[in-house]
Amino acid sequence: MPQSPSRAQPRRTVVAGLAAALVAPAIGISVRAQGKQVVVRTGGGGYDEAKRASVYEPFTRETGIEIVLVAANATKMLALARAGSDEIDVYDTNDETLLQISRANGLAPIDYAGFKFTDPADLPAALRQPQYAGHSYFATLLGFNTSRIKPGSEPANWAQFFDVQRFPGARSMPNPSLGEPTLEFALIADGVPMDKLYPLDIERALKKLGTIKKSIVKFWETGALSTQLLVDGEAPLVALWNTRLYEAMGKGAPVAAQWNQNQAALVAFGINRHARNAANAKVFVDYCLSAETQGRWMQGVTAMPANRKAVSKASPTLRDPATGTLWVHSKGFMRDITWWADNRQKVADRWQRWVLE
């Protein structure tokens, strides 16, 4: 990791190389004037395209603040935070990365009391963290290939996913080095209740994974690979992100979702404590969390909103018809990001030994 800059060395000099590497074009959103902009880190690609008309352009029209979008992975974000960089105003990323940035003293407090667009009471308390605010959920769930496994005959839970006698064939799961819930799903399959998972029993999880090790064709490390394995039928059963699954489904691929025992995680906003445009960053986060903005964003995308008043705008496929709530609430559990942040290296080291056993 980069060392912190000395007092005699400007922050911008220290991070100039990193900043140049991460800054990307703002998908058509220009900068009108210095001081009336906000620099936002996002995942880029389709994520930004989906938000252009529903979030970014309305924000600029209503506030006069231009948005500059940049791309940076977790490693770069953490390096910039540790260097005290002011190149990014708002981090839009998963909550575990934001926790790590917070631990590096890189985030400012979120001023919920000062919100003008969003009623903080409309956001679940668990999402209103002191230094980051969840704006949407995504889930890791059980996906299946409908040309190989007919809907209604797919595994109903993770115990059945692990039952290679009843459900023969290849499987694929996330690589735990990503911090994904391969261990959690193995423990659920072994009888651990969803609300008793943490702290994870690593050895018990690996022992359970060993029972299907020969059936795992790949522990995937990218969302694209997880979808490819499922769509091609190389692995008719795959634990993967709902966003990737529904993207493939929307293109007509023979895939479907089993939401029971899904694992939920957050995508959230954090404001850089060194932000050049701190006031604009606050307005941006406030605006994006509002029920009205989230309601627009939900149209035609597979995101699951944080704001309770926008849930009705989410795709019906993301809601449990029995309760009207999001599947992540009715049938899922939340990943414990603190446990993973504290134990990621331990899991990765043990995992490398396990794959060779």
pLDDT (tens, 9 = 90+) of the chain, 357 residues, equals: 333 233 333 333 333 333 333 333 343 333 333 459 999 999 887 788 889 999 999 999 999 999 999 999 999 999 999 999 999 999 999 999 999 999 999 999 999 999 999 999 999 999 999 999 999 999 999 999 999 999 999 999 999 999 999 999 999 999 987 777 799 999 999 999 999 999 999 999 999 999 999 999 999 999 899 999 999 999 999 999 999 999 899 999 999 999 999 999 999 999 999 999 999 999 999 999 999 999 999 886 778 999 999 999 999 999 999 999 999 999 999 999 999 999 999 999 999 999 998
Are the C-beta atoms of residues 132 and 110 closer than 8 Å to each other?
yes
Q: What is the pLDDT of residue 180?
A: 79
Q: What is the pLDDT of residue 181?
A: 79
In angstroms, rounded to a whole number, what is the distance separating the alpha carbons of residues 259 and 319? 10
Q: What is the pLDDT of residue 176?
A: 81
Using the 8-state DSSP alphabet, how is residue 232 labeled?
T
CA distances from 181 to 19, 142, 206, 265, 334 (A): 32, 12, 12, 10, 10
Q: What is the pLDDT of residue 44?
A: 80
Are the C-beta atoms of residues 82 and 105 closer than 8 Å to each other?
no
Are the C-beta atoms of residues 47 and 303 closer than 8 Å to each other?
no
Using the 8-state DSSP alphabet, how is residue 228 labeled?
H
Q: What is the pLDDT of residue 18?
A: 35
pTM of the model: 0.85
Strand extents, DSSP E, 242-289: 255-271
In angstroms, rounded to a whole number, what is the distance separating the alpha carbons of residues 311 and 306? 8
Burial of 100 (0-12, 13-18, 19+ CB in 10 A): middle
SS3 percent helix, strand, coil of the chain, rounded to 5, is: 45, 20, 35
Counts for the chain of helices (H) and strands (E), in that order: 14, 10
Q: What is the pLDDT of residue 241?
A: 94
Q: What is the pLDDT of residue 35?
A: 56
Q: What is the pLDDT of residue 357?
A: 86
Q: What is the pLDDT of residue 16?
A: 36
List all residues 6 or more positions away from 334 whose beta carbon is below 8 Å from its beta carbon.
Answer: 126, 263, 264, 265, 328
Strand extents, DSSP E, the chain: 37-42, 66-71, 90-94, 133-145, 171-174, 216-220, 237-241, 255-271, 304-305, 332-334
Q: What is the pLDDT of residue 110?
A: 97
Are the C-beta atoms of residues 171 and 160 closer than 8 Å to each other?
no
User: Which domains are delineated in the chain?
Assistant: 11-136+266-329 (3.40.190.10), 139-264+332-354 (3.40.190.10)
